[in-house]
Amino acid sequence: MKSRHLLLGVGAVVAAYLGGSYLLKLKRLSAELETETKASIHHVSLSGIELTISVKLKNPSGGSINVKQPFVKMTYGGKTIASSQVKDVNISIPKFSEVNLEPIKIQLGFLSLGTTVPALIKEYRETGKLNLIVHTITTINDNFPYTKTDNITLGGGKPA
């Protein structure tokens, strides 16, 4: 009976140690994973602007990792103006490598922008630029959340 309790105790300590080291490894991977997010104006029409978002995932660590397809959200003045679709797709990034994802297309309608963030339309008319905050959100190895925020300026800088 005593040896059984001893084995259970040892098993619990080993499980806690392995679980803790796994979580520390995930935390380190989250700190090391790098995303490079670029946005560009793909097309401008009378109805709005179509943006292309390119995401590159970089893994500088010695272990391969899996991440979910990143969710990209664009904000201006604290308000969400557009976001990508949520996809349950795993992307494997081998050790010491990088992966370019398929470009994400996002449509920004002038009418919806004019009602939700009129300051953005005014800024674009005055400067020819869009200054946006882009949040890239994903999960590493189905367990550890990862978020990166980038400030991105779109446009050529000529008044529209």
CATH number at residue 139: 2.60.40.10
Each residue of 80-102: pLDDT tens digit? 888 888 889 999 989 899 999 88
160 in a structural domain: no
pLDDT of the residue at 143: 80
Angle at 145 between CA 18 and CA 87, to 5 degrees: 120
Confidence band, pLDDT 50/70/90 cuts, at residue 59: confident
146 in a structural domain: yes
Task: Write out the residue range of the structural domain in which residue 74 sits.
Answer: 33-154
pLDDT of the residue at 2: 65
22 in a structural domain: no
List CB contacts of 155: < 8 A, sequence separation 6 or more: 41, 124, 127, 128, 129, 130
143 in a structural domain: yes
- CA pair distance 80, 18, nearest whole angstrom: 40
27 in a structural domain: no
- Structurally, the chain folds into a number of domains equal to 1
141 in a structural domain: yes
25 in a structural domain: no
Each residue of 104-153: pLDDT tens digit? 888 888 787 777 888 887 887 888 887 889 998 988 888 888 888 999 88
Its pTM stands at 0.72
Is the pLDDT reported for residue 10 higher than 80? no
104 in a structural domain: yes
pLDDT-above-70 percentage for the chain: 78
Is-contact 140 30, C-beta < 8 A? yes
Least confidently predicted of 12-26, 48-62, 69-83, 143-157 = 12-26
Is the pLDDT reported for residue 78 higher than 80? yes
Is the pLDDT reported for residue 14 higher than 80? no
